[in-house]
Amino acid sequence: MTRKSQQTKRKREESPEDTSKTRQKRTKGGKSSGQLSLSTFATVNPSKAWMNDLESVNDITQVHAQAACGFGPLGHKQCCPNKFARTALEPIKEGAKTKAEVIDISDSEEDVQHVCSQVKCKANPYCLNYLGQDKWESPGEGIKVIKTATQNNFGGNPGQLLRDPKIPVGLKNLGATCYANAFIQVWNRQDAFRSAVFQCIPPVSETETLENSPIFQLQVTFAALSYGGAACFDPTPLIESLKLNRGEQQDAQEFSKLFLSHLAEQFAKQSAPNLKNIVASQFEGVSVYGTLCHGCGYKSAQETRFSEIEIGIMNNSTLEDCLQDSLQSEVLSGDNRYQCPQCQSLQDATRYSEIRELPPVWTHTISFLTLRVFEVLHFSVQRFVFDFNTLSRKKSKNLIKYPLVIDMARWKQKNTQNASDSLASDEIYDLCGVLIHKGSSAYSGHYESQVLDPRTKTWYQYNDETVTELPRMGDSSMDLSSKDCYCLIYARRDTSKGLDNLCEPSEEVSSRVRAQDEVLLNQNNAFTNEMKSRIELYEVARNRNSDIYRSWNLVHPTDSFKIVGREDLLEFLRRDFPKESAKQNKPNGPQETVSSDPLELIATTGSANFKQLLCQHRRLDPNRASQLKLITPASFNLIMESFPGMKSFEECQEVCILCTQHIFEEDRYRSSHLEAIHQFDVAVAESVDNDGVRGMEYWISKKWLKDWRLQKPKMHSIGENDPSPDDASFRSDVYCEHDGLTLEHQSRVMISEEGYSIIKDMFPGWDPFPGDTDPCILCTERVESNRFDRLASMKDAETERVILKKLLSSNPITAERKVYPGITCAVIGSDWVRSWRLWINKPRNNDRPGPADNSLYLCQHGRLLFDPNVSSELANPQLCLVQEDDWNMISQLYPNSGPAILLNTEDASSVRCNLSVCVDCYKPPIMEEDALELSVHLLSRDDKPPSIETHLRAKEIINSSKNLYTLFSFSSRRPRRVKHGGQSGRFLSLRLAKNSTVLELKEQIEEIEKIPPFYQSIYYKGQEMTESKASLQELGLEPRDVLQWKSLAEPVILEITDDGSDNEPSASHSTKRVEGRAFQGTLLAGP
C-alpha cells in the first residue's frame, strides 16, 4: 500500500484566548484530568511582565519594544549610580600606581534596591560603571603603555644604549663571534698595544680601502671601546674585513695567534721604526730546547720564539706547578741514551727546556712622543685534550689555581749557571686578563674575558654586550682558581710612572665614532621628545574622557536618554588610551609619529558595532538588548564630537516593533507548546486500558517525535510554523522511495490514537500509516534479490570450507612458523588468511578476498627480502606458512596469486627455498626486544646548542606527525630520512640495538650525512653525549626517544676527477678539519 501525505505546516495561535479554545477542542468529552489551563504557563519572569496586558501582537508599541530591552516606563531594569562621580583624577607622574581607588557610593543611596556588580549589571542598559574607566583614573598604566609603544616604535629605548661612564663598552655577538670579542677586549686594555694600533697608518690602494682594512677597522673598534658613547659597539665591519664566518664557532687562542700574526705583517710595513716589531716586542719571548751530555759537557741547544707558554693541567694544580712540569728536565739513559757528536758515542744526557728571554722592556722616542711598551705574557691552558679512547677532543674540567702576581725570574734560564739574581725584580708579572670558556664540549660553548683596567685597577667581566664590574680580587698574595679558564694573561710590572703621551686615534677614526654616537644621541632625543608628546596627548584625552564618563549616567528611568552600543562606549574609552605599537626593529628612528591633534578622529563614517545591533528591519534589535546602553543626551553630543562612529545611533533610536512582536509570539508559542506536550504525554499514558490492551496505533517519525517533545525543539525556527511529521526532513523515516512504509523500522515508532489526535489537530494535513500497514512490496522484493546473491556467496564459502578445511582447523596466523623435514610449506600473507577466514565464517557480512599477493616479500630483483633460516624472520606477523597442497588449491581458486615461495628442509638444520635471498637488498633485522627506534633532529651549524626546551619542542613535532618514524617492513629495512618543513629542521629515523654505542650511532648518521663521528655532536635532553663507548641503554634512552644532532664540519663533497666521474674523497681529502687551519677561507688563513 502506498500513500502520499499533504505537506502542511502547523498554524500559529493569534492570542492566548484562541490558544485556549484550540486546546479545549482537542479533548474528548470535555476537559480531561491531565489538561492544563493557560494560566499554568503564564509568564512570571519580570523581564516579560510587559506581555501580561497584551492581547494581540498588534497592540505592541515602542514603549513595549523598549520594555523588551529592559528600559523605559515598563522596563524592569534599575539605574545604577555612577561609581566615578565623586573621584578626582590622579595627577600624571612617573611611578604612579596602575589601579585607581574607586569610591563606591551605591551603599549610601537609599533609593538603590540592588547591588551593582560587573557580572550582574553587564546587560543592564542603565549601568555604565564597568566600561574601562579604571585605567583612565590612574595614569600609571597609561604611562607604562606609552613607554612600551615608544620603545616598539624605535626598536627599543635608545637611552639604554648609551654608555654608563663607569662601565666599559661591550661588543655585540654577531652569532658565534664571542671568541673574537673576548680577545679584542683584552687587547684594548693593553694601552701600549692600543696606542701602537692607533699610530699605524692603514694601507690604501686601488684594491685596499679603509672599509676592508682590518687595521683601520680595529682602530675604529678600539676607539669606540675607549671613547665611544654607546654601551655596546657592533664589530661587524671588523669581522667582515677579516672575512670571518659570523655563525661559525672558532678557537679563541687560534684566533689570537692568527690575528696577531696578521697584525705583525701589517706593522712590519709601517715606516715608523717603533712599530715594525711591536707585536714581537709586546708578546714574544725566547725559549731554548737543548741536550747536555754527561760525558763531555757538550750542549746542543735550539732557540725558538714563543708568543704563549702552553701548560698542561692536573686537577687542583697551580700555575707554578704546571710551569715547573712543562720545563722539567728529562734524563736520557739506557736504551734512550744520547748520540753525542763530540764524544762520538752514546752517552747519558739531560734534555731540558728553559725560558731564555721574556719580552724585553723596549722604549722608543719619536719627537716629543715617548712610547714605553710593556710586554705581555700569555699562558695557554691546555683545556681541550684529545681522548684516544673516543678519538675525539674533549674539555678538561680540572681546576687550576693561579696567582695575581708571578715572578718569572724563577724559571728564566733555569738550568744555566750564569743566571743573575739581579733580574728577579724585573721579571715580576701581574695578572691582567683571564679568558674563560663556558660549556662542556670542546666543539661548542661560549667565551668570556675578565680584564683589569690598568688605570682604575678595577676588574670587569666582558660577556659580549654585557659588561659588569667584578669584586676586588684581594691582595697580591692570594690565588684564584677556575675550571673554565682557557688563557691567563700577565703583564710585566712597570716600576716607572707608566704610559705617558699615548697616541690618540686619527681624525678619520674619531669621526667614525662620533658619527655613530651622534646617531644614537639623535635617536635618544627623538625618543624623549616623542615620549613627552605622547604623554601630553594622553593628558588631554584623559581630562576629556573623564569629564564625559563622570556625568553620562541617568538618575531615573524617566530621564531623557540616548541609546548607544556597549561596544561603542568601550571603544570610545579604549581608542584614545595608549596602545603598544606592533612596529619592531627600527634602529634608525621612528617612521611614524603620533598626530599633533589631541582629538584625533577615527577615520570611519560609522560604527561597525552599530550594524551588528540592527535587525533585518534596520532598527535596533531587542534580541541584542544586552549590548545596549543609555546615556544622557549631553554626554552623547560630547562623545560625537570626538567619536564620529556614535553618529549612527543619532539616526536610529527606535527599537524594532516587528522583532518585539516575534518575541511576544515566541513566548506564546513556548507556553502552548509545553501545554501540548503535557496533553500528549497524558493521552499516551491513558491509551492503555485496564487489561493492558492497546487500541488503534499510527506510525510517526521517531526523530520528529523526539525533537518535538523537547521544551525548545531544534526544528523550530523563530517566526515560522513547526514542520509536520511528514515534512521532507522526516518523511524518509516512515516513507520509502515508493511512498510505501519503509523497511527501516528503527527510524519509525507507533503512537496511540489519542496521541495521534493531538498531533493531527496541530497538523491537519498529516495522514500517517496505521500500525497494521505492511511494508513496501517493491522494497521487500529488492531485499530478497540481494539475499540470493548472498546465498551464492555462502555456497562458495561452504565449498571452500571443505576444500581448505586445514586453514580453518589450524589457524596459520597463530600457528608456529616452522618448517619440518619432508613437508613443503608455502609463504602467504597473514592479512589474506585473516580476510579469507572472516569470509568463510560470516559470508553474509563479508566479501570474498582477492588473489593472495606475495610480491611485498620480494625486492625489485625478484629475490627474497627476508632470510627463511632466521627464526625471527619467519616469526614476522606479516606472513604465515601453509602446506604446499593448500597453496596449490588457493592458486586455482584465486587466479593471479603468487609468486610461490616454497620452503622445505631435510634435517631441520637449514631451510631451502625456491627463491634466493637478495644480497644487495637484504639487511639482517634487529631483534624487537633489543631494538630502539629513535628520531634524530638534525640542526644546522648556525643553530644554538640544544637545551631541554628545544628537546621538548622537537618531541612535540615528532608526536604531532604520524609519518616521522621509519616503518620497517621487508621492503624498507634501512633508516630513512624524513624532511619536515618550516623552522623545525630535518628529522632522521633510526633503528638500532639497545647495546649500540654512541660511536655506532654516529657511524649510522655518517652514512647519510657524510659527517665523520669526530665532527658530530649528539644531545639528549639538552646534554651532549660525550662518551662514545657508552651504550644507548646505559644513557637511559627509550624507544621512540628524540635526540638532537649538530655538525661541526661541512659534509663530504665528492671529488671531481679529470674524467668527470664522481669518486669518494681519498684519505688526503678527509673532511676532518686540520688543526691550525680552522680559519680556512678567511683573511687570517693567509694565501
pLDDT for 258: 86
**CATH number of the 928-1051 domain:** 3.10.20.90
Residue type, 407: D
Is the pLDDT at 702 greater than 90? The verdict is: yes
List 723's β-bridge partners, or say none: 9
- SS3 of residue 361 by DSSP: coil
Question: Which value, in Å, is the radius of gyration of the alpha carbons in the chain?
Answer: 47
Q: How far apart are CA 225 and CA 181, in angstroms?
A: 11
Q: pLDDT tens across 542-557, in order?
A: 888 888 999 999 988 8
Q: How far apart are CA 300 and CA 448, in angstroms?
A: 42
- SS3 of residue 711 by DSSP: coil
Q: pLDDT tens across 842-868, in order?
A: 887 788 899 999 998 899 888 998 888
CB contact at 8 A, 282 and 359: yes
Q: Which residues contact 845 (CB under 8 A, 6 or more apart)?
A: none
Q: How far apart are CA 130 and CA 117, in angstroms?
A: 9
Least confidently predicted of 135-149, 393-407, 662-676, 1073-1087: 1073-1087
CA-based max dimension of the chain: 148
Q: Which fold has domain 160-270+504-515?
A: Cathepsin B; Chain A (3.90.70)
Mean pLDDT of 1029-1058: 70
Is the pLDDT at 111 greater than 70? The verdict is: no
Q: Which residues contact 58 (CB under 8 A, 6 or more apart)?
A: none
- Region class of 955: left (phi > 0), else alpha (psi between -120 and 50), else beta: alpha
Q: Do domains 285-358+375-415+423-492 and 928-1051 have the same CATH topology?
A: no
- 16-26 vs 753-762: helix axis angle to the nearest 10? 150
pLDDT for 501: 65
List 828's β-bridge partners, or say none: 880
Is the pLDDT at 948 greater than 50? The verdict is: yes
Is the pLDDT at 813 greater than 70? The verdict is: yes
816 pLDDT tier (thresholds 50, 70, 90)? confident
Q: pLDDT tens across 1014-1030, in order?
A: 788 899 888 888 888 88
Q: Which residues contact 725 (CB under 8 A, 6 or more apart)?
A: 700, 701, 704, 705, 734, 759, 763, 766, 768
* Residue 14: Cβ within 10 Å count: 14
pLDDT for 985: 63
Mean pLDDT of 629-648: 85
Give percent above pLDDT 70 in the chain.
Answer: 80
pLDDT for 19: 35
Q: How far apart are CA 991 and CA 512, in angstroms?
A: 58
CB contact at 8 A, 104 and 83: yes
Is the pLDDT at 367 greater than 50? The verdict is: no
Q: Could you tell me the CA-to-CA distances from 84 to 87, 133, 421, 627, 632 in Å, in that order?
A: 5, 8, 89, 21, 16
Q: What are phi and psi of 366, to 5 degrees?
A: -125, 115
For residue 332, what is its C-alpha cell? 736520557
Q: Would you tell me which CATH number, out of the four given (3.30.460.10, 3.10.20.30, 3.30.2230.10, 1.10.260.40), belongs to the domain 780-913? A: 3.30.2230.10
Is the pLDDT at 692 greater than 80? The verdict is: no
Q: How far apart are CA 807 and CA 712, in angstroms?
A: 59
Is the pLDDT at 890 greater than 90? The verdict is: yes
Q: Which CATH architecture has domain 285-358+375-415+423-492?
A: Alpha-Beta Complex (3.90)
User: What is the chain's mean pLDDT, rounded?
Assistant: 79
- SS3 of residue 663 by DSSP: helix
Least Cα distance to 797 among 906, 893, 878 occurs for 893
Asked if the peptide bond before residue 899 counts as cis, ω within 30 degrees of 0, the response is: yes
In the numeric block, the cell 747519558 is attached to 348
In degrees, to the nearest 5, what angle opens at C-alpha 585 toward C-alphas 579 and 586?
A: 85
pLDDT for 913: 93
Q: pLDDT tens across 517-530, in order?
A: 999 999 999 999 99
Domain spans of the chain?
A: 16-55+660-775, 160-270+504-515, 285-358+375-415+423-492, 780-913, 928-1051
In the numeric block, the cell 703621551 is attached to 501
Q: Could you tell me the CA-to-CA distances from 351 to 299, 311, 335, 408, 409 in Å, in that order?
A: 10, 18, 15, 21, 21
Is the pLDDT at 132 greater than 70? The verdict is: yes
Q: pLDDT tens across 894-942, in order?
A: 999 999 999 998 877 788 999 999 988 887 765 555 677 888 888 887 7
CB contact at 8 A, 546 and 136: yes
- 191-199 vs 178-188: helix axis angle to the nearest 10? 100
* Residue 796: Cβ within 10 Å count: 15
Cα 794 → chain centroid: 58
* Residue 367: Cβ within 10 Å count: 5
Q: pLDDT tens across 408-418, in order?
A: 888 876 544 44
For residue 573, what is its C-alpha cell? 574609552
In the numeric block, the cell 536618554 is attached to 561
Is the pLDDT at 958 greater than 80? The verdict is: no
CB contact at 8 A, 1024 and 441: yes
- Tell me the residue length of the chain: 1087
Q: How far apart are CA 462 and CA 465, in angstroms?
A: 8
Q: Could you tell me the CA-to-CA distances from 615 to 607, 610, 611 in Å, in that order?
A: 15, 11, 8
pLDDT for 956: 78
